[in-house]
Structure 1
Amino acid sequence: MPEINVILVKALRERTAAGVMNCKNVLVEAGGDIDAAAKLLQERRLLPEAAKRRPTSEGLLVFMIEERCGAIIELAAETDFVSRNPLFQRAAEDLARVVVAVRGRLDETLAAPSPDGQGDVAGYISRLAATFGENIHLRRTAILETEHGIIGAYAHNAPAPGLGRMVALVSVSGADSDVAANEIARKLAVHVVGAAPLWTTAEQVPAAIRNQKRLGAGRNHEHHMAENELDSAIEVRLQRFYDQTVLLRQQYLLEPSRTVAEALLCAAGPAAYIEDFVCYRVGEDAAHDARVAQAAEFEWTFGNDWSNERPARMTVLGEDRIFEVSPTGPRLRDDRDAVDLINAAWSRGATVIALPVARLAVDFFPLSTRKAGTILQKFSNFGTRVAIVGDLSVELAQSSALRDFIFETNNRGQVIFVQDLEALTQKLRQSQHPHRADFHG
Structure 2
Amino acid sequence: MATITAAMVKDLRETTGVGMMDCKQALAENGGDMEAAIDWLRKKGLSKAAKKSGRIAAEGLIGALTHGTRGVVVEVNSETDFVARNEQFQGLVKMIAQVALKVGADVEKIKAAPVGDVTVERAIQDAIATIGENMTLRRAASLEVTSGVVASYVHNAVVEGAGKMGVIVALESAGKTDELATLGRQIAMHVAATNPQALDSAGLDPAAVTREKDVLSDKYRQQGKPENVIEKIVESGLKTYYKEVCLLEQAFIHDNAKSVAQAVKEAEGRIGAPVKITGFVRYALGEGIDRQESDFAAEVAAASGKK
The residue aligned with 1:55 is 56
The residue aligned with 2:35 is none
The residue aligned with 2:142 is 143
Scaled by the length of structure 2, the TM-score of the pair is 0.75
> Is it true that 1:92 corresponds to 2:93 in the alignment?
yes
2: CA distance, partners of 1:90 / 1:256: 38
CA contact (8 A) 2:265 2:275 kept: yes
CA contact (8 A) 2:48 2:129 kept: no
1:227 to partner: Cα distance: 2.3
The residue aligned with 2:159 is 160
The residue aligned with 2:117 is 118
Structure-2 change in CA distance of 1:265 and 1:43 (3 Å):
farther
CA contact (8 A) 1:144 1:169 kept: yes
1:146 to partner: Cα distance: 0.9
> Is it true that 1:83 corresponds to 2:78 in the alignment?
no
1:250 to partner: Cα distance: 0.7
2: CA distance, partners of 1:147 / 1:43: 45
1:268 to partner: Cα distance: 2.3
Residues 409-424 of structure 1 mapped to structure 2, 5 A cutoff: none
The residue aligned with 2:281 is 278
Structure-2 change in CA distance of 1:59 and 1:241 (3 Å):
same
For the residue of structure 2 that corresponds to 1:52, the secondary structure is coil
CA contact (8 A) 1:213 1:238 kept: yes
1: CA distance, partners of 2:156 / 2:105: 26
The residue aligned with 1:67 is 68
Residues 301-320 of structure 1 mapped to structure 2, 5 A cutoff: none
The residue aligned with 1:27 is none
Count of residue correspondences: 248
Structure-2 change in CA distance of 1:52 and 1:216 (3 Å):
same
CA contact (8 A) 2:45 2:126 kept: no
Letter in 2 for 1:130: A
Tell me the alpha carbon deviations over residues 3-50 of structure 1, each in whole angstroms, 9 at most, x when there is no partner: xxxxxxxxxxxxxxxxxxxxxxxxxxxxxxxxxxxx964956424866
CA contact (8 A) 1:59 1:80 kept: yes
The residue aligned with 1:29 is none
Residues 324-339 of structure 1 mapped to structure 2, 5 A cutoff: none
1:211 to partner: Cα distance: 2.6
The residue aligned with 2:249 is 249
Q: Please list every run of 5 or more consecutive structure 1 residues that lacks an aligned counterpart in the other structure.
A: 1-38, 287-362, 367-441
Tell me the alpha carbon deviations over residues 87-123 of structure 1, each in whole angstroms, 9 at most, x when there is no partner: 111111111111111124101101111x2x2321111
The residue aligned with 1:214 is 213
> Is it true that 1:191 corresponds to 2:190 in the alignment?
yes
Letter in 2 for 1:253: I
CA contact (8 A) 1:177 1:268 kept: no
Scaled by the length of structure 1, the TM-score of the pair is 0.53
CA contact (8 A) 2:59 2:84 kept: yes
> Is it true that 1:235 corresponds to 2:235 in the alignment?
yes
2: CA distance, partners of 1:70 / 1:88: 21
For the residue of structure 1 that corresponds to 2:280, the secondary structure is strand
1:236 to partner: Cα distance: 2.2
1:226 to partner: Cα distance: 2.0
Tell me the alpha carbon deviations over residues 143-188 of structure 1, each in whole angstroms, 9 at most, x when there is no partner: 1111112111100001222111111000111364223211111100
Q: Please list every run of 5 or more consecutive structure 2 residues that lacks an aligned counterpart in the other structure.
A: 1-39, 296-307
Structure-2 change in CA distance of 1:75 and 1:267 (3 Å):
same
CA contact (8 A) 2:249 2:260 kept: yes
1: CA distance, partners of 2:42 / 2:73: 29
For the residue of structure 2 that corresponds to 1:134, the secondary structure is coil
Structure-2 change in CA distance of 1:93 and 1:49 (3 Å):
closer
Tell me the alpha carbon deviations over residues 196-216 of structure 1, each in whole angstroms, 9 at most, x when there is no partner: 011111111233332332122
Percent sequence identity over aligned pairs: 29
2: CA distance, partners of 1:151 / 1:281: 19
Structure-2 change in CA distance of 1:48 and 1:275 (3 Å):
closer
Structure-2 change in CA distance of 1:129 and 1:206 (3 Å):
same
Q: Which has the higher contact order (CA 8 A, sep 6+)?
A: 2
Structure-2 change in CA distance of 1:82 and 1:127 (3 Å):
same
Tell me the alpha carbon deviations over residues 273-299 of structure 1, each in whole angstroms, 9 at most, x when there is no partner: 10100110111127xxxxxxxxxxxxx
Letter in 1 for 2:265: L
